Amino acid sequence: MTTTGGPTVPPPQPGRLTTTTAPRKLTKAELRAAEAKTKLTSPWASSIAIVIAILWTIPTFGVLLSSIRPQASIQSSGWWTWFTNPEFTLDNYDQVLFGTGTAFSTFFINSVTIALPSVLIPVTLALLAAYAFAWIEFRGRDLLFVAVFSLQIVPLQIALIPLLQEYVNWGLAGSFWTVWISHSIFALPLAIFLLHNFMKDIPPSLIEAARVDGAGHVKIFFRVLLPLLVPAIAAFGIFQFLWIWNDLLVALTMAGGTPNVAPLTVRLAELSGSRGADWHLLTAGALVAIIVPLIVFLSLQRFFVRGMLSGSVKG
């Protein structure tokens, strides 16, 4: 951080803009560092922050710790007793993943099977639509865009039952197709809107240049825009993946009664209702369901945060 504002300025590079007037008061980094010192000295501020951080972490930690304790211990004592009486077992995971009554491994596969097309399809379709709205001129474009924009506020509940009736009508009920199609439809309005924002940010001169070179829209889309949009696509892709993996309502409606399609969340909610006392299964099960989004989230957090910021602050 501090290395950037060093006093030994390299020889002036041609073309590089040196915007800062030579001896500025303090660089941003230095200001912040100075302020950090004063901030930390307030004991109230730091203790409140620490209390919040603990409150936000402990519930998950408790479940994590419980999931590796033997069933008898989970049900007879709190997880905090682990510190005085450490025990370790993977039986809960074994039972939750492969046990006859739970079979989370099956539901895990279902979740994966649901997630990939449900991310790929809406992202692709939204990219194409966003391109059309941003860079193809045709009559009625603005009107159509406003229509898609306003579809964002339609809650998916309102579409659920007629959609289900149609699936029944076409003989698709209880298959993966219903979940894929539904998720794709519900994701489209927001996806088009967000990706359109990113598309609009690309300098028109780039598109213009490609056009003069004789590229058609399809070529411009694939050769010029797609490479530039990779960060935006990653951001929305992660968002959509988390949304799909964590969804309950759509899955429950479309595949609730079909164990061969239902994802982890449905099974977990079911388990929570019917076996409220089986904490050894619930804790391990919850972690099995959480682990994938957590890994995705932690490894790609940078993209996600950037996407979230640009999407929401730009409005």
Partner 1 sequence: MSETRPESDVAGGPSAAITTTEGAPPPPAHWRTGLKEGSTVWTVVLAVLGVVAIGGSVVFLLNAFGVLNIQLDRTTWPTWLVGATSTGGKLLLMVFAVILFVAVMTIVLLAADRAKRVSNRVVAAAFLGPAAIMLGLGLLYPAVRTIRESFFDRQSENFIGWDNYVTIFTQSGFQLVLRNTLIWVILVPIVATFIGLAYAVLVDRTRFESVAKGLIFLPMAISLVGASIIWKFVYEFRPDQEGVNQIGLANQFLVWLGFDPYQFIITSPWNTIFLIVVLIWIQTGFAMTILSAAIKNIPDDIIEAARLDGLSGFRMFRYITIPSIRPALVVVLVAITMTTLKAFDIIYTMTGGQFETSVVANEFYFQSFRQGNFGVGATLAVFLFVAVIPVVIYQVRQLRLAEEIR
Q: Restricting to residues 242-301, which ones interact with partner 1 according to CB under 8 A?
A: 242, 245-249, 252-253, 260, 265, 268-269, 272-273, 276, 279, 282-283, 285-286, 289-290, 293-294, 296-298, 301
The helix/strand/coil state of 101 is coil
Total residues in contact with partner 1, by rule CB under 8 A: 129
Q: By C-beta, is 13 or 85 nearer to partner 1?
A: 85
Q: By C-beta, is 91 or 270 nearer to partner 1?
A: 270
The helix/strand/coil state of 39 is helix
Q: Which of residues 34-53 bind partner 1 (CB under 8 A)?
A: 35-36, 39-40, 45-46, 48-49, 52-53
Task: Determine if 201 is a binding residue for partner 1 (CB under 8 A).
Answer: no
The interface region with partner 1, picked from 5-13, 15-23, 92-100, 174-182 by CB under 8 A, is 174-182
* Residue 160 C-beta: closest distance to partner 1, Å: 7
Q: By C-beta, is 92 or 253 nearer to partner 1?
A: 253
Neighbours of 78 (CB within 10 A): 11
Task: Determine if 143 is a binding residue for partner 1 (CB under 8 A).
Answer: no
* Residue 301 C-beta: closest distance to partner 1, Å: 8
Q: Which of residues 68-127 bind partner 1 (CB under 8 A)?
A: 74-80, 106, 109-110, 112-113, 116-117, 120-121, 124-126
* Residue 90 C-beta: closest distance to partner 1, Å: 19
* Residue 88 C-beta: closest distance to partner 1, Å: 18
The residue whose two tokens read 């940078």 is: 302
* Residue 12 C-beta: closest distance to partner 1, Å: 25
Residue of 92, 95, 102, 184 that binds partner 1 (CB under 8 A): 184
* Residue 16 C-beta: closest distance to partner 1, Å: 22
**Distance between CA atoms of residues 202 and 310, nearest Å:** 14
- Report CA-CA distances (Å) from 315 to 80, 85, 134, 135, 253: 45, 52, 16, 20, 31
The residue whose two tokens read 């620490």 is: 50
The helix/strand/coil state of 55 is helix
According to DSSP, residue 79 is labeled G
**Distance between CA atoms of residues 299 and 40, nearest Å:** 29
Residue of 68, 123, 188, 235 that binds partner 1 (CB under 8 A): 188
Residue of 123, 174, 190, 224 that binds partner 1 (CB under 8 A): 174
Q: By C-beta, is 31 or 230 nearer to partner 1?
A: 31
Residue 127: closest CA among 224, 241, 246, 242: 224
Residue of 16, 169, 203, 227 that binds partner 1 (CB under 8 A): 169
219-251 CB burial, b ≥16 within 10 A, e <16: ebbeebbeeebeebbbbbbbbbbbbbbbbeebb
Write out the H or E segment, with its range, that includes residue 230. Answer: helix 230-246
Find the Cα–Cα–Cα–Cα dihedral 305, 107, 112, 131, rounded to 10°: -70
Q: Evaluate whether 283 touches 63 at the Cβ level (below 8 Å).
A: yes
Residue of 177, 228, 234, 275 that binds partner 1 (CB under 8 A): 177
The helix/strand/coil state of 139 is coil
